[in-house]
Amino acid sequence: MRLDIAYEGTDFNGWARQPGQRTVQGELEKALETVLGGYGPPPRLVVAGRTDAGVHATGQVAHVDLTEAQVGALMRQRPPRSRDLAPGALAIRLNGIAGLKSDVVIARAGFAPEGFDARFSAAWRRYAYRIADAAASRDPLLRRHTVWYPAELDVDRMDSAARELVGLHDWAAYCRPRDGATTIRELQEFFWVREPDGVLVAHLRADAFCHSMVRALVGATVAVGERKLDPGRVVVLRDEAVRTNEFTVMPAAGLTLVGVGYPPDPELGARAELTRAKREPGLQ
Amino acid sequence: MRLDIAYEGTDFNGWARQPGQRTVQGELEKALETVLGGYGPPPRLVVAGRTDAGVHATGQVAHVDLTEAQVGALMRQRPPRSRDLAPGALAIRLNGIAGLKSDVVIARAGFAPEGFDARFSAAWRRYAYRIADAAASRDPLLRRHTVWYPAELDVDRMDSAARELVGLHDWAAYCRPRDGATTIRELQEFFWVREPDGVLVAHLRADAFCHSMVRALVGATVAVGERKLDPGRVVVLRDEAVRTNEFTVMPAAGLTLVGVGYPPDPELGARAELTRAKREPGLQ
């Protein structure tokens, strides 16, 4: 089954299940187990983008493998007041368990196409990062997914620096290292815009991001926007491929996983095999 | 001094100061007192729209009367890193006290023009009400100022019913009664739109609203949108001018005070006198 998921990360300790912590995976797996009514083994979700504590998602994707008995249990359910058959009903039941006021929402649930793997079939991940700088209006209604920055930032400098970074490169300077994990990634898009309400938004897309890469890229271009770093310097740092203290990694609260892209259905299985062969645990 | 204020109402027990409760007025008056450094009497804010517990504001307006000694104390202050002179500095200092992550923000602070009274000079108040119905995508990032409604609503029916209600009328059917308070108000605008993300938004403007009037008007048109009430019925109920149980008052969480309008500066004093003469305590 494929699940499309949105959550506000503020009150979650990240995506990944951890004993004694409230996490998105933990809450959803508990809800799934309730819906499946004790049939089969505990459901385990596989996710496209394993977000850190405090990071949000509007377009997260996960899958769960179910046994025949579990699918049967699901298909016999039809929630009250719904004309949907299962598995459409699954989203309604899960949201019912999570509660209408919850900070996690199942936008869609359905049988996944043959060969689909939420993590390994993914062709790209897209993130957005939101900052209200000194020049922007600071709307308290948006503060939970927008970071407030005390200085005024030059969006044109930030945008130019961001666009210079795009391409297939080694991102060691922008990654928190993980044992045996490659830092070579294709950054497919990176640009900054100032929205009509004054909020600065970075848009980033890559085949996959290594750990803390989005927040480091945002931090480097913010330093450019505050004139603490020359625009060309972000490329030099990238090509030196070592960690630096010339910029800071930005806080989690401004970051949202916006979407995940998959190839056409017939290519899903091949794509997953290819990714598994050349990648290692730890990509997000 | 005039203050323009935004807040997320979720964690406030409304605008009005109450002993032992966290309220917007209470927090701001405490911050003002700190900034004034003990000069003169405790500052008291007068507000354009006294919002209930859980109601938000992006365009709230208040004023505070200061003594000459207090103005002097303010004018001697200039915050670090700011080129602003007081009173521009006041907003920065107040926001500093409230904290960058706070749920209340002073958007602007400045000397008010002659005759200005935040409450009695106001010509109109504008509110918005946001609902994610079953047809809308429920974005958890917006859930704190958007009410989730379990049924699908017909926005065209709601919009037609809303527009029929506009005008100068007795709103007793839509007001929670208050001793000696008139229920005659001019509803200047009321319409519904479905935004691109699917969220339903009601826009309302009136010279002033009586207590719970916005949420009652929203509730009546929601009943129309769910086909539990005929569109013409909302006008009949209004003209019967008695309280009814044919619709429910909607929850506070969806409601935001968006803005307050004032006449041109030379008319501020006259407008305030006129309002004071014909109105009574309790208008918002």
Identify the residue among B11, B141, B149, B199 best suited for mutation to test binding to A, counting A beta carbons within 10 A and taking the highest. B141
B102 in contact with chain A, both atoms CB, cutoff 8 A = yes
H helices present in chain B, as ranges:
24-36, 68-75, 88-98, 155-165, 213-225, 233-240, 268-278
pLDDT of residue A52: 95
Domain extent listing, chain B: 2-110, 125-263
Axis-axis angle for helices B213-225, B155-165 (nearest 10):
140
Instruction: Decide: A45 and A26 in contact? Cβ < 8 Å.
Output: no
Q: Is the pLDDT of residue B82 over 80?
A: no
Q: Is the pLDDT of residue B181 over 70?
A: yes
B94 to A88, B36, B132: CA distances (angstroms): 50, 10, 34
Q: Is the pLDDT of residue A101 over 50?
A: yes
Mean pLDDT over the full length of chain B: 89
pTM of the model: 0.85
| Greater model confidence, B101 or B39 | B39
B1 to B32, B71, B90, B121, B275: CA distances (angstroms): 11, 9, 10, 14, 20
DSSP class of residue B150 equals S
**Residue-wise pLDDT tens digits, A144-187:** 999 999 899 999 999 999 999 999 999 999 998 887 778 999 99
How many other C-beta atoms are found inside a 10 Å radius of the C-beta of residue B60?
28
Section A92-117 average pLDDT: 82
What's the CATH fold of domain B125-263?
A: Alpha-Beta Plaits (3.30.70)
Section B251-275 average pLDDT: 94
**Residue-wise pLDDT tens digits, A204-257:** 999 999 999 999 999 999 999 999 999 999 999 999 999 999 999 999 999 999
Spatial separation of the C-alpha atoms in residues B219 and A30, rounded to whole Å: 35
pLDDT band at B81 (very low <50, low <70, confident <90, very high): low
Chain B: nearest CA to A269, how far in angstroms? 30
Instruction: Decide: A23 and A14 in contact? Cβ < 8 Å.
Output: yes
Spatial separation of the C-alpha atoms in residues A146 and A253, rounded to whole Å: 7
Q: Is the pLDDT of residue A116 over 90?
A: yes
Residue of A nearest to B9 (CA): A141
Residue of B nearest to A104 (CA): B140
Chain A: nearest CA to B140, how far in angstroms? 5
Residue of A nearest to B96 (CA): A150
Same CATH fold, A124-261 and A2-110?
yes
Question: In B, residues 160-219, which contact A (CB 8 Å cutoff)?
Answer: none
**Residue-wise pLDDT tens digits, A78-90:** 555 544 445 567 7
Query: For B2-110, CATH number?
Result: 3.30.70.580
Spatial separation of the C-alpha atoms in residues B246 and A127, rounded to whole Å: 46
B117 catalytic residue (yes or no): no
Residue of A nearest to B150 (CA): A100
**What ipTM describes this predicted complex?**
0.78
Section B82-106 average pLDDT: 69
Highest mean pLDDT: which range of A274-283, B69-78, B92-101, B121-130:
B121-130
Residue type, B163: R
Residue type, A159: D
Mean pLDDT over the full length of chain A: 89
pLDDT of residue B98: 67
Q: Is the pLDDT of residue A59 over 70?
A: yes
pLDDT band at A279 (very low <50, low <70, confident <90, very high): low
Write the residue in A58, A95, A148 that is nearest to B141 by C-beta: A58
Which residues of chain B make contact with A150, given a CB cutoff of 8 A?
Answer: 81, 100
Share of chain B above pLDDT 70, in %: 92
Dihedral in degrees, nearest 10, Cα atoms A79, A83, A87, A89: -30
Q: State both tokens at B200.
A: 């339903």
**Helix (H) and strand (E) counts in chain A:** 7, 10
Q: Is the pLDDT of residue B119 over 50?
A: yes
A145 in contact with chain B, both atoms CB, cutoff 8 A = yes
A108 in contact with chain B, both atoms CB, cutoff 8 A = no
pLDDT band at A200 (very low <50, low <70, confident <90, very high): very high
Spatial separation of the C-alpha atoms in residues A224 and A239, rounded to whole Å: 17
- The verdict on domain A124-261 having CATH code 3.40.50.360 is no
Instruction: Decide: A122 and A205 in contact? Cβ < 8 Å.
Output: no
